[in-house]
Chain A
């Protein structure tokens, strides 16, 4: 062995007996000062001289070893370690929880609103396309409401794109998508205007223009808007992913700090038979409170965030998709009458009108979306509008079938009336589906904000609180040890 076990002679607390051959017992009244010349006892017999040159690290280790040979030295080391552990616990807690709180704040105030805004662009575009085809079918009799709806949708989409552009990094895929949409929007509008003009003159090429505009919307713009929406959703998911994980490092450090404090107090008790060292107890209390706050606070926040995701974000996403499906279905229903069989598709060896075929697919998507939304809805006010929308959809399908039969039998005017007419038309059903979905979306948006707000609230003050508690704890540990040290003066 190189170092003798030094047992000081203050009141013993254990049965440990200084082992034979250990360093000579010295008077406790004059504790060797750390940093002073290495005690003679350190120099191991048989090692006459230190090597001529030594590294700073080796020097430090030697000093530490020297300090560890005396009780005050050991106390200093213990005090330092305790203080460092508690403060580190506080620092890591503050750091990790700041990260999570920031992410939660982003969820509530940044990424979810952006995701909503992207969904809004997506919906406005689909809605504009639907309104354009409705207006087209009505020809000269286009109502002010339809025209206003179309113009408003275009404006909403345009301003939504500006907002989205402001929140995207230059050159990123999202920025490129936004640039593409910005380029396509006026193109689309130009095509729709031409379609209207020709239609008013009674030329069938107007219908061809509208179909071309629709193709641009369905094949290029809506996929781009959907892509943007998905990107914003990814950002939202990423923020959720940063807010949700347990702060394991902070928890582990907290547990370690408490264990170290416990050990120090146990050691203290063993040596002095004094049960309480006020400083150490204060440090323990502060660290315990900080740890509990951390675990409970984050746990609550996590639960609330999970709730906001399950009942907010997921429902919102499903409802958005369903709404888009209903808009697309309506657009295709209108275009079936605009195209009048100009475009067909072959599926399973049969030929269908291209738009009526798409209508069927959109209605299937709507049905799936509504079923999923019903499953996700967790309360009555969330379920009600969705159930109502399902009813509207069923009626819509029924009326659509009648309108199709009328059209195929050559009663175009009747079919038109059954689609864009005032009473008993499929337009009524579509409007109801849209209104009910809007209602459900508003409700789920509220649910989301409530839950995510709760989550963020549960983390409020945690980083600062943990930091302050840790500083108090660290101070307590230092003071507690300092009190013991002073007994050696």
Chain B
């Protein structure tokens, strides 16, 4: 019976075709409307090819690295001749320096032409005057700390005068002159601080160091050995030692450890901080040159002999006495020894 009804119902349906057509039309509208999709942005990073560098020929035995240099001499050799033979505007000594170390190598924006100035810069002018006869025959190149050795080895600079410590490790890669300055790791803190030096007073203090610096290595070692209070927080490391002064001024740390010369440069920028206690290590700054530039090393050592006699003290008084003290005895380099023979 139901089937019969359905069959009956189906009859005459053709008349409804128009209505069905309307529905079909409506559906067609839906389906024919634009369907646009845009693909997402694609990104690909590229990286340049890299060149690895770093051959290291460690000295078999190394004690007193500051003595491992050649005896002074005025004789011109191939390196000096090559420098002297530079033509025209290029007849300059190319020296790698720092532009950020106040009182050592720094461009003061208030100077006319923002000339570089500082203790290191004075020495550079003296060397240029001796070799090329003109203290201003210098092309300064600003190089970051970790580029000092690569810059020398690749020949981009003739020498580096940039608060560079003479170490055994570095002696395998570059040649050093005799020391021109004595320094050591030192503590810097606010004048009102209870910190008295590199001692028990650092307990519970937050100490800032430059990442990968000698200071950080020493602090970590001393803390592990129990020489530094375990409560001293040495977790703050910054890209550049000067950033430590920022953290100190902002109250994010209580003390800074860096080498004394640079700590002095920080203290010179803020009269409310001072060096605390004596240096707890002994280090020497030297002029770094190419490993095989024997004539240049001897010549610089010759210049340094003269410079210690006249010039060094003047430069010290001008740049450093304000923060390192009137008495320069602690900073004066020892009488040089020239133990390197080849």
Contacts and interface: CB of A to CB of B under 8 A. Distances in A.
Contact of A349 (B5, B30, B50): B50
Given A343-B239, A348-B48, A349-B51, A205 B15 contact: no
A416 B109 CA distance: 11
A348 B142 contact: no
Interface string B4-41: 11001001110110011011011101100110101001
A348 B102 CA distance: 32
A344 interface: yes
B41 A202 contact: no
Interface in B98-118: 98-102, 106-111, 113-114
A342 B36 contact: no
Contacts of A194: 249
A209 B15 contact: no
A340 B20 contact: no
Contacts of B53: 349
A284 interface: yes
Interface stretch (A48-56, A60-68, A250-258, A467-475): A250-258
B240 interface: yes
A211 B114 contact: no
Given A342-B239, A342-B240, A343-B240, A269 B33 contact: no
Interface in A271-316: 284, 288, 291-292, 295-296, 299, 302-303, 306, 310, 314
Interface string A151-193: 0000000000000000000000000000000000000000000
Contacts of B140: 410
B71 interface: no
Contacts of A207: 100, 242
Interface stretch (A32-40, A350-358, A385-393, A436-444): A350-358
Interface stretch (A122-130, A233-241, A260-268, A479-487): A260-268
Contact of B141 (A211, A310, A343, A408): A408
A208 interface: yes
Given A266-B16, A410-B142, A341 B30 contact: no
B245 interface: yes
A354 B15 contact: no
B311 interface: no
B264 to A, nearest CB: 13
Contact of B139 (A202, A266, A295, A409): A409
Given A14-B8, A288-B22, A408 B239 contact: no
A140 interface: yes
Contacts of A348: 47-50
A344 B144 CA distance: 7
B137 to A, nearest CB: 12
- Main SS of the interface on chain A? helix
A258 B33 contact: no
A204 B13 contact: no
A199 B240 contact: no
B50 A202 contact: no
Nearest to B265: A204
Interface string A392-432: 00000000000000011110110010000000000000000
Contacts of A266: 12-13, 15-16
Given A139-B110, A291-B26, A349-B52, A364 B16 contact: no
A95 interface: no
Contacts of B147: 341, 344, 351
Contact of A203 (B34, B142, B269): B269
Given A203-B102, A262-B19, A340 B107 contact: yes
Contact of B239 (A1, A14, A354, A376): A354
Contacts of B243: 208, 211-212
Given A205-B269, A344-B147, A255 B23 contact: yes
B251 interface: no
B109 A202 contact: yes
Contact of B114 (A265, A341, A350, A413): A413
B100 A340 contact: yes
A204 B116 CA distance: 12
A384 interface: no
A328 B147 CA distance: 25
Contacts of A270: 11-12
B289 to A, nearest CB: 18
Contacts of B61: none
A412 B108 CA distance: 12
Interface string A311-341: 0001000100000000000000000000111
Interface string B237-274: 00110110110010000000000000000100110000
B107 A410 contact: no
B329 to A, nearest CB: 28
A342 B30 contact: no
B192 interface: no
B26 A306 contact: no
A43 B53 CA distance: 105
B105 to A, nearest CB: 10
Contacts of A351: 144, 146-147, 150
Contacts of B246: 205, 208-209, 212
B342 interface: no
B1 interface: yes
A192 to B, nearest CB: 13
B143 interface: yes
A94 B76 CA distance: 98
A262 B13 CA distance: 9
Given A204-B101, A343-B239, A350 B19 contact: no
Most buried by B among A296, A318, A372, A410: A410
B151 to A, nearest CB: 10
Pick the most buried of A1, A199, A412: most chain B CB atoms within 10 A of its CB.
A412
A351 B147 CA distance: 7
B309 interface: no
Contacts of A19: 1, 4
Interface in A91-130: none
Contacts of A295: 26, 29-30
B8 A299 contact: no
A344 B239 CA distance: 8
Contacts of A408: 141-142
B30 A284 contact: no
A412 B117 CA distance: 13
Contacts of A269: 12, 15
A246 B27 CA distance: 11
Contact of B144 (A254, A263, A306, A341): A341
B320 to A, nearest CB: 15
Interface in B192-211: none
B46 interface: yes
A434 interface: no
10 contacts: A15-B8, A140-B109, A202-B108, A204-B101, A211-B240, A258-B19, A302-B33, A349-B51, A353-B144, A412-B142
What 5 A-B pairs are tightest by C-beta distance, nearest first?
A: A348-B50, A262-B19, A341-B144, A349-B50, A410-B140
Given A204-B101, A318-B41, 7 more contacts: A211-B243, A212-B246, A262-B19, A266-B15, A269-B12, A292-B25, A344-B146
Interface of B: 1, 4-5, 8, 11-13, 15-16, 19-20, 22-23, 25-27, 29-30, 33-34, 36, 38, 41, 43, 45-53, 98-102, 106-111, 113-114, 139-147, 150, 239-240, 242-243, 245-246, 249, 266, 269-270
